[in-house]
A and B are shown apart, each in its own frame.
Chain A
Amino acid sequence: MRWFRGTDEAQAKPVIKSSGHQRISRRSTGFGEFTRTLASYTDLAVLDLGPTSSANISYLTQYGGRVYNEDILRAAREALAVSGLKQGESTENLDPQKFFAENLDHPEHRFDAILCWDIPDYLHEALVKPMVERISMVLKPGGVLLAFFHTKDAGPDSPYCRYHIAQGDVLELEPVPGFRLQRIFNNRHIENLFKEFSSLKFFLARDNIREVLAVR
């Protein structure tokens, strides 16, 4: 696993500093597979871990179920701010137990599907493993999870993007300032991360994103 942890304040600034209204369309095979599995559910419960997007809510509620939204990265940033830390500094004062007592606090096996997007790449190190453990707890057996991982050393300036669902397998990416890539997971790390899951399917996209569809 490679780390991108600069301490320089200038390095921490993302490349894109605009208000983030430019969107880039990309086709996602992994998301296409994800939506195909959703069609088989009734009373679907989906957890979206990205920033709130009305496009996503619109799309997912067409399946007749409920959408739960929890912006885990923003919550982590606020928790870090409260504890007086900055991303990339010591994690000693960050208590994952305390964080997950207030976040991702759902009953066991509540969700049929979870959209994790590329949050593990940007999340604070201390929270990554506990988050995946919590996800595997709240996801129903047979439920699906979609996650994206960067495959290329794009460096610390690789922007965090907000994902909007455009169509069946088309996503729109909107860069969001304030977060930066923390690490690169390789296949082995991803398999270890999702060891509680029954199957993993990898899709390597042309834009150096590894899409992972995990079945609980």
Chain B
Amino acid sequence: MWKSRPDDKPATENLSPQPTPATNPNPVSAVKETRVAEPPRRNEVLRAEVGHIGKSVMIKGELSGSEDLYFDGEAEGSVDLHEHTLTVGPNGRIRATIVAREIIVHGKVEGNVRASEKVELKKSCMLTGDISTQRIVIEDGAFFKGAIDIQKDSRPELRKAATMSSSGITALVASSPQGSFLEDK
């Protein structure tokens, strides 16, 4: 009954949501229709919009942009991507203040880092500077030297409660819908 047929598509292609009604007498045509109407996948859109700076590039001064950026070169000065993601590749060397929505570091960064959403320190990362963010992910092996300021103004009630009692902290975090501010890897 559930045997796959040679002309079946790979399972990974069926991962995107396909709202096929259960009562449809002709499911094959329904799938075809949905595919025509399906918007471009988020990953494909992102890939198309990510700028790439290779390891032979060196930038001195101000680097700013309004798209996601993969940076594998060297930079000195400041990096400002506002509402976008900066990924510092394994060969990336940045000596600058970084401002972005999300910052993922594989390489080396010297300077303060400010992310409005999330900072990820990968295992090969070496970061010296202060971090200000809402969430942070630190992989084992990542080197970090500096201060961490977790921005949590959106949840002042938790902050207030945390200062009141040390014993209540775990319970509050556990009962919160978002869990911890930080993500452990």
Contacts and interface: CB of A to CB of B under 8 A. Distances in A.
Contacts, number: 78
Given A54-B184, A69-B148, A62 B142 contact: no
Interface in B162-185: 162-167, 169-170, 172-173, 180-185
A57 interface: yes
B149 interface: yes
Contacts of A168: 166-167, 169-170
Nearest to A70: B145
Interface of B is mostly: mixed
B70 interface: no
Interface residues of B, number: 33
Interface string B155-166: 000110011111
Contacts of B166: 35-36, 38-39, 63, 168
Instruction: Kindly state the interface size class of chain A when it binds its partner.
Output: 20 to 34
A83 B144 CA distance: 22
Interface of B: 121, 136-138, 140, 142-150, 152, 158-159, 162-167, 169-170, 172-173, 180-185
30 contacts: A20-B140, A39-B163, A39-B164, A39-B165, A42-B163, A52-B138, A52-B142, A54-B136, A54-B182, A57-B136, A57-B182, A58-B180, A59-B169, A61-B150, A61-B181, A61-B182, A62-B159, A62-B169, A62-B172, A63-B162, A64-B159, A66-B147, A67-B147, A67-B148, A69-B144, A69-B145, A69-B146, A71-B144, A71-B145, A75-B145
